[in-house]
Structures are given as C-alpha cells and as structure tokens.
Amino acid sequence: MKTSTDSGKAGGMTPLGSVREVVTYLSSYNTSPDGSGASGMGENVGIGFMYGPGFIVEVPVATEEVNQLMVTITDEDFAWAVLMRMCRQLQWKMMDPESGRTFG
C-alpha cells in the first residue's frame, strides 16, 4: 500500500511531513524502526524500515520531506485495524498499487 495525503489538486500529493515527523506519527501506532538505520545497498538506497503490528513501512530517508510510504502487510488480522485508524486520524490515504483502490 502506498500512503499519502490528498492535496485537493488533481493528481497532487501533499507531503506527509519530514522523516522525523513521520517517525513520530508512526510511533503513536506501535510502529518503530529496528535501530539498524537506513539501508545503503541496491535499490533500497535511503530507505528506512519501520515495523508495526502486522505490517512493515518503508520510509524514504534520503529526502527532507516524505511524500509517500510503502506498506507491506504481513498479518492482515492485526494490520488493517491499525492502518485504517492511522489514516483516519492523520488524514492520510492508502492506495493499493495493484488495483488502484484507495482507503482511508
């Protein structure tokens, strides 16, 4: 799932916040980095991983502002309730890149 805010412009996205802000937001939902820092090899250059209940979040850390996150669900029973609450409270949207459906 990709997560972003809706800017009100056709096709536009409002940044979710700085990397530090996004980490703070996600920590309120029992989601945190594993402490290893950002990956620096291959196609994951500048990506930090955060782990939540039933999901993993990839955060681009090479930029000042985060425009989107990539969420991989590892346990649907735990993940959906947390992700839906997160999107509702933070006013973020999720999009399934395979179907194009949006949630939140």
Q: How far apart are CA 63 and CA 73, in angstroms?
A: 24
Q: How confident is the model at residue 37 (pLDDT cuts 50, 70, 90)?
A: low
> Could you read off the pLDDT of 40-64 as tens digits, one per residue?
444 545 789 999 999 999 999 888 8
> pLDDT confidence of 95, banded at 50, 70, 90?
very high
pLDDT for position 28? 96
Secondary structure (DSSP) of 20-67: HHHHHHHHTTT-EE-SS--B-SGGGTTEEEEEETTEEEEEE-SSSEE-
Beta carbons of 22 and 92 less than 8 angstroms apart = no
Residue ranges of domains in the chain: 2-91
